[in-house]
Amino acid sequence: MTSASVQNTIRVRIFLIVLVSIGVRIAREFSSESVHKATNLLLVNYLLYGTILLCTVAMSKVAFGLAIFLQLAVVTLDTVAGTLALVSTLRCVNAQQAVCIHTLPGSIVTVVLTGLLWLLDTLQCWSIYKVLRLPSFTSYLGRRLRVLFSWALPFVVLNTVSLLVEGKWTMFVTPHMVVDPLIIVMAPTLNATTLAVILAAVIATDGIALYMVAVSLVRISIGVQISISAFAFILVLASTGKTSREAVEKESPMLAAEATTTLRQRKSKQKIAF
């Protein structure tokens, strides 16, 4: 199994994990109070999932080392939350109380989904470990930007719909409606300078939108967009520096060969002169 396929598996699994987490959030609303409190621990996982996604895009051993550390923390939270929810459900069944029986289906679904979440997170740990075990891994900048802005695209819809419903729409949230699909489609064909200029402009408009918008949910969403765009900007700059170093490294052997040839010619001339 190649490094690229393992990385793609990790990113697709993050999407599945987030879907299951949303299912847990929905099911817990119909469960008992004790199960509801136990699954509150899983709220921290959303922040960890976002950080893990950024680590998988950063493409370095250090980033993947941080990713597996965070993933182990996620598995630990899943284990604690799932155990507490299971114990609470079993106690509820043994108590035979009317309130417990009423919320029992929701509690069972929550426990099952939490178990599925634990399984997916454990598999994610193994996949990240396999990437760390590989001798080297490569990935194209365009593909990494596509992954980032595919995750950023839902926030565009969230911002637009929320502001329209609240009647507080502003034009400064619209650039992502153009830029995100553009980068997803054309990132491999755009040069680093163009990408850097686009991302810098988007970050600037996001900053203005964050200042102008008062809706709390939208402000959080804009904060996520700024984080993603800033991380993409750093990747573009890092890629530019790497390309320059590679060009110098390719040029250096040629310069060395030319210097050697010149030196030999000088020695030959000196021998003839002698």
**Domain edges within the chain:** 3-133, 141-248
Q: Which residue has the higher pLDDT, 140 or 198?
A: 198
What tens digit of pLDDT does each residue of 127-136 get? 888 888 876 6
What tens digit of pLDDT does each residue of 150-181 get? 888 888 888 888 888 888 888 888 889 888 88
Query: What is the pLDDT at residue 155?
Result: 85
Q: Which residue has the higher pLDDT, 115 or 138?
A: 115
The answer to whether residue 147 scores a pLDDT higher than 60 is yes
| DSSP state letter for 96 | T
Q: Can you read off the two tokens belonging to residue 270?
A: 């000196």
The answer to whether residue 260 scores a pLDDT higher than 70 is no
Q: Do residues 140 and 47 touch, judged by C-beta distance below 8 A?
A: no
The answer to whether residue 8 scores a pLDDT higher than 80 is no
The answer to whether residue 89 scores a pLDDT higher than 90 is no
Helices (H), 33-173: 33-38, 43-58, 61-95, 98-133, 141-166
Sign of CA dihedral 219, 67, 45, 109: positive
* Arithmetic mean of pLDDT, 105-111: 90
User: φ and ψ at 128, to 5 degrees?
Assistant: -65, -40
Q: Can you read off the two tokens belonging to residue 86?
A: 């299971």
Query: What is the pLDDT at residue 251?
Result: 41
d(CA 269, CA 272): 5
Q: How many CB atoms lie within 10 A of CB 35?
A: 28
* Arithmetic mean of pLDDT, 116-120: 95
Cα end-to-end distance, the chain, whole Å: 64
* Arithmetic mean of pLDDT, 90-97: 76
Q: Can you read off the two tokens belonging to residue 129?
A: 């470990």
Query: What is the pLDDT at residue 255?
Result: 43
Query: What is the pLDDT at residue 80?
Result: 94
Q: How many CB atoms lie within 10 A of CB 113?
A: 22
What tens digit of pLDDT does each residue of 41-54 get? 888 888 898 888 88
Q: Considering just the CA atoms, what is the radius of gyration of the chain in Å?
A: 26
- For 193, counting Cβ atoms within 10 Å of its Cβ (0-12 exposed, 13-18 middle, 19+ buried), the class is exposed
Q: What percent of the chain has pLDDT over 70?
A: 82
The helix/strand/coil state of 229 is helix
One-letter amino acid of 167: G
Query: What is the pLDDT at residue 249?
Result: 43
Q: How far is CA 163 from CA 150, 160, 174, 229, in A?
A: 21, 5, 11, 21
Q: Do residues 124 and 16 touch, judged by C-beta distance below 8 A?
A: no
* Arithmetic mean of pLDDT, 203-219: 89
